[in-house]
A and B are shown apart, each in its own frame.
Chain A
Amino acid sequence: MVENLSDLEIIELILKGQKSNFAVLVSRYQQAAYKLALGILLQKADAEDAVSDAFIKAYMALPGCRKDTNFNSWFLKITYNCCLDILRKRKKFQSFNGLEDTIELASDEDPLQDLVDREHKEGLWQALNKLNHEERGAVILKYYNEASYLEIARTLNWPMGTVASRLSRARDKLRNLMEGGSTDE
């Protein structure tokens, strides 16, 4: 079963001409990439476009993907760059139709816990919207994609030594915003 193979083994098969195996990588990473793209772009349609473009770019770049490369972090960097392309287009054509301030969050199994959490989650999402795209990217990479500081530094092109302080600053801003303050505090 191709589904049980490692990313590297699948890439080798694709490079030997078995294109259809790329679908396994798409199934494996599309949702993680989407969460990152949605967190940065704050719009579902743009996030889907970014993920779609990222997979095409990754496919074209597969021959250059080194054997020691972690496909997940390599692909998340491509996704992040596709998000930056969309942000640049928005700036150029001023085509952004507004943030998705309210997003439908999935319910927890426990209704009581769900009631308590829902308000906090919506507050956090709105606070996250108020960070800049790099800070949002760092928070999502760390706390959703569980990336290391080194992977965050590589993805966002940040100097390695600044990741801890920048991430901490983003967390401080989130906390202030959730407590009703502003990002300047």
Chain B
Amino acid sequence: MNKKNNCPDRPEILAWLDKERQDETIASHVGNCCSCREVVKKIKEENRLIKSTLESLPPMQDLNEKIMARVFALVSPDGNSLFSAFSYLLILSSSFGMLLLYLYIAGFLASSSWSVLLIKGISFVTSIIVNGGTILDYALDWILSGKTLIPSLAITVAVMFINILQKRRLSND
């Protein structure tokens, strides 16, 4: 309340008009106070203008088709637990496979002569960069969207396969 003339503050009148305050004292005061009645009248007129302006904004084109196309491309909202579990297993097993591969290569490097060691070392670092990046990429893709797991996984497996073939060829040479 405004202490000088006992009139309610504007936020109080606004909250009362917005039906957020059930205050009988404001209702009876407004009934007896000309200046508050004027404030109420002005606020009501502004309310009407704001509402009609927002209602006059042009409607948006119907997005139903566009949104539903995106929805159908998504994993179902119940989480599709079987798909998620399968995806998770794929990531874990391929990461574990990569780890084994690197351990094997590291062991092979340790038992080779220095010239072979250099070539193998370069190949090792390259494969870590390529495969590590790809694994990280598809893991992130999966976490963020759940859409690109299979293609990314296929690329990773292909890169792993090529690497193994190359290493075999190198060790045969």
Q: State whether the Cβ of B86 lies closer than 8 Å to any Cβ in chain A.
A: no
A71-126 at interface with B (beta carbon < 8 Å): 103-106, 117, 120-121, 124-125
C-beta contact mask, A148-185 vs B, less than 8 Å → 1, else 0?
Answer: 11000000000000001101100110110000000000
User: How would you classify the secondary structure of chain B's contact residues: helix, strand, loop or mixed?
Assistant: helix
Q: Is the interface of A mostly helix, strand, loop or mixed?
A: helix
CA distance A35 to B55 in the complex (A): 8
CB contacts (< 8 Å) of A144 on chain B: these are 50-51, 54-55
Q: How large is the interface on B (under 10, 10 to 19, 20 to 34, 35 or more residues)?
A: 35 or more
Q: Write the nearest CB–CB distance from B75 to chain A, whole angstroms.
A: 8
| Distance to closest chain A CB from B40 (angstroms) | 13
B38 part of interface (Cβ distance < 8 Å):
no
A-contacting residues, B1-60, CB 8 Å: 10-12, 14-15, 18, 20, 43, 46-47, 49-60
| Interchain CB contact under 8 A, B63 and A30 | yes
B:73-116 near A, CB below 8 Å? 74, 76-79
Q: Which of B18, B56, B74 contacts A142 (CB 8 A)?
A: B18
Q: Which residues of A contact B (CB under 8 A)?
A: 14-15, 17, 19-20, 22-23, 26-27, 30-31, 34-35, 38-39, 44, 47-48, 51-52, 55-56, 59-63, 103-106, 117, 120-121, 124-125, 128, 139-140, 142-144, 148-149, 164-165, 167-168, 171-172, 174-175
- Using a CB–CB cutoff of 8 Å, the interface residues on chain B facing chain A are 10-12, 14-15, 18, 20, 43, 46-47, 49-64, 66-68, 70-72, 74, 76-79
